[in-house]
Amino acid sequence: MAATQARDDGLLIGGRWRASDRLLDRRNPARPNEVVGRTAAASVEDVAEAYAAARAAAAGWAATPAPARGEILRRAGDLVDRRTEEIAVGLALEEGKALRDARAEVQRAAVILRYHAGEGRQAIGEVYPSAASGTMLHTQREPLGVVAVITPWNFPIAIPAWKLAPALVYGNALVWKPAEIASGSAVRLAEVLHEAGLPAGVLNLVTGKGSEIGDALVTAPEADGVTFTGSNAVGRRIGLLSAERGLKSQLELGGKNPSVVLADADLERAVQCIVRSAMYSTGQRCTATSRVIAERAVADELVERLVATASALVVGDPVDEGTEIGPLASAAQHRTVADYLALAPQEGHVAVCGGTVADPSDGYFASPTVLIGGSPTSRVATEEIFGPVTAVLAVDDAAEALRLANATPFGLSASVFTRDLNAALRAANELEVGVVHINGETAGAEPHVPFGGIKGSGSGSREQGTAARDFFTETKTIYIEDVT
Ligand code: NAP
Ligand code: MG
């Protein structure tokens, strides 16, 4: 069923876009005086209506054949392709991501949608031998039900796509709360899914402030599960509320991802990967390289090359084609990064490049920063900064490098640069993270393999690929006994 005309400042409930009496300005982080859109601030009552709509649509959607659900995702993927430029520009204007990265993100969402479209024709169960003769014993996957989807601003198209696509193909009805500052992107993605044929009420979009409607999203009686990507602080609260209610939860949280550079590494490759992973998207990636742990024998040369490469990055207006690094996404992000950069010298870290932020009235820019010195246990070296800042720590040998890499409450991703197969294998086995890259960036995730962190970086089943099925379905075990 076609939804009414999408509105950038509207809520989508039961297939209808509706106005809100309260609007929040979305600002261009490169020019904070410029309002680029308005976000409808959903109320707790709106959330309740969204859940009622999802519940009403859930049975019909669950009964829709999975290949037909997949077909809608395939069409949505094609529509995203066709609208790449418009969606990417909107993303760049509200979130500050360099346009070329915004385009890549939108393209990635199209790939994710099409990948999950194909999942609509995959097996949804297994047949087992039974101890009783003539008995058919099998499992079947059924939708989890009505699911809350809560997403961050740093990948406002790709992360929603990798939650919404599997949730939908496995037959769930959804209430989606995107990040306030990037909700224009959410409106466009919801619009595309409806244009592709998603029935009314299957996906409901409630924009606004998480601090106002967050609890209502997780405590709604209709909710069967919640999938969340965002900060550890909010994740902890969602985890608590979910546990209290026995709600299935999936939490993808922060990181303090190390790149380990051993003495035998291809240094130029290490430098290119580290600079991209640490600085692209202005360092605002959960998988950003925020620690570089280098064997002392190569540390000085590595730092010299990191500085040369990082300081050559083009920082500027995200919609300029030449820009590699846009501003931080918001005034709050800008403040956080400024505070960490002020703390760094007090903790003994020295900025060998960058180390400064712009005056916020000129845009929320921060220069790519490489820090050396300081203690590996400092706040700067252990807390997630979520800015274009990486701290280089020198160690004596590979064993110390792995110990330090693991000496963090986080466990999302890590990379190791070496030509030694044994060292690579040892690192792959010993690193306490969800994703390891050997001779590659800490950032980046292909859509058909599991993604997620361990330790303080996440809980619940992995996202993406077939792993997504574990969260978005329940398994039923069926015994059919022969009574002839
Ligand atoms: P955030 O502040 O935790 O916000 C995430 C989402 O939760 C937003 O939609 C936010 O809404 C909402 N929210 C805020 N308070 C809430 C509450 N009390 N109850 C329910 N929802 C609430 O995170 P962020 O600043 O957007 O994103 C940055 C963080 O995400 C970083 O820590 C990063 O590492 C992490 N991240 C992790 C992954 C991963 O896969 N592991 C991927 C990307 C990002 P508002 O926008 O209205 O505040
Ligand atoms: Mg936040």
Q: What is the pLDDT of residues 262-301, one digit of tens each?
A: 999 999 999 999 999 999 999 999 999 999 999 999 999 9
Residues with CB under 6 A from ligand 1: 150-154, 159, 177-180, 209-211, 214, 217, 229-231, 234, 237-238, 252-255, 286, 384, 386, 412, 453, 457-458
At residue 443, φ and ψ (nearest 5 deg) are -90, 160
pLDDT of residue 391: 98
DSSP, residue by residue, 144-185: --EEEEE--SSSTTHHHHHHHHHHHHTT-EEEEE--GGGHHH
Which residue type sits at 474?
E
* Cβ contact 160:178 at 8 Å: yes
Distance in angstroms (rounded) separating the CA atoms of residues 130 and 268: 58
Q: At what angle do helices 158-169 and 66-82 cross, to 10 degrees?
A: 160
- SS3 for 253? coil
How much of the chain exceeds pLDDT 70, in percent?
Answer: 99
- Greatest Cα pair distance, the chain, in angstroms, is 81
pLDDT greater than 70 at residue 2? no
Q: Ligand 1 pocket check: which of 20, 22, 25, 150 to mutate, most ligand atoms within 8 Å of Cβ?
A: 150
Best probe residue, ligand 1, of 187, 229, 245 (max atoms within 8 Å of C-beta): 229
User: Residue 183: its pLDDT value, please?
Assistant: 97
Single out the residue of 271, 310, 238, 277 nearest to residue 459, CA to CA: 238
Q: What are phi and psi of 434, to 5 degrees?
A: -85, -25
- CA-nearest residue, atom 23 of ligand 1: 230
What are the beta bridge partners of residue 287?
none
Ligand 1, pocket-test mutation among 22, 39, 108, 231, most atoms within 8 A of CB: 231
Backbone angles phi, psi at 353, to 5 degrees: -155, 155
Residue nearest to atom 32 of ligand 1 (CA): 231
The confidence score (pLDDT) of residue 1 equals 41
Instruction: Give nearest CA residue, ligand 1 atom 35.
Output: 230
Is the pLDDT at 5 greater than 80? The verdict is: no
Q: Which ligand is nearest to the CA of 105?
A: 1
Residue 131 has a CB neighbour count (10 Å cut-off) of 6
Q: Which active-site residues does the annotation give? A: 252, 286
Q: What is the pLDDT of residues 358-413, one digit of tens each?
A: 999 999 999 999 999 999 999 999 999 999 999 999 999 999 999 999 999 999 99
pTM over 0.95: yes
pLDDT of residue 29 exceeding 60, the answer is: yes
Neighbour-count burial of 346, counting CB atoms closer than 10 A to its CB (0-12 exposed, 13-18 middle, 19+ buried): exposed
> Taking 50 as the threshold, does the pLDDT of residue 448 lie above it?
yes
Percentages (nearest 5) of helix, strand, coil residues in the chain: 45, 25, 35
Report the range of poorest mean pLDDT among 2-6, 19-23, 106-110: 2-6
